[in-house]
Amino acid sequence: MATKQPLSFERAMEQARKYLHNRKKLSWLLRHAAHRADEHKETLVDTWSHLRTLIRLMRASVSGRYASPVGTITMAVAALIYFVTPFDMIPDGIPVLGFVDDAAVVSLVVGANLETIHRFLEQER
C-alpha cells in the first residue's frame, strides 16, 4: 500500500496549471482559500493580508479586471493550492507549526511578484 506523499510547491505548480484551465475548480479554490484564511486568521497573523491580496488578485485576473502575467497567476494559484491542502510538507494538523510552511510559501510568492502586486494594489485604490 503506497503512502500519500506530502504536497510540495513543485507539485502545487503542476496542479495550478490544470486549475487555470478549469474555471469551476479555480472558483472553488478561491472560495475555499478565502474561507480557510478567515478561519485561521489568528494563526496566520501577518501572512493573512498577503493571502487575501493573492485571492483578490486572482479574482480580478479571472474576471478580466486586472491583467496579471501568467507566471504570477500560476504561482498565486499554486500558493493557494498549497495553503488549502492540509497534507503538505508540515501537515496543518500540527499545532502552531502546521501553517509555518503555508505562510512561507505565500510570502515567497508575494516576494517574487512584488511589482505586479504593488500595481494591483494601486489599481484597487
d(CA 10, CA 29): 18
- Indicate if the alpha-carbon torsion angle 85, 42, 103, 16 is positive or negative: positive
Q: What is the mean pLDDT of residues 60-86?
A: 95
Q: What is the mean pLDDT of the chain?
A: 93
**Which one is predicted more confidently, 65 or 46?**
65
| DSSP SS3 for 96 | coil
With cut-offs at 50, 70 and 90, classify the pLDDT of residue 3: low
pLDDT tens for each residue of 29-38: 999 999 999 9
Helices 70-84 and 9-19, packing angle to 10 deg? 110
d(CA 48, CA 43): 9
Q: What is the mean pLDDT of residues 27-53?
A: 93
pLDDT > 70 fraction of the chain, expressed in percent and rounded = 97
Radius of gyration of the chain (CA): 14
d(CA 32, CA 28): 6
Q: What is the mean pLDDT of residues 12-29?
A: 95
Q: What is the pLDDT of residue 66?
A: 95
With cut-offs at 50, 70 and 90, classify the pLDDT of residue 54: very high
**Paired strand residues for 7:** 88
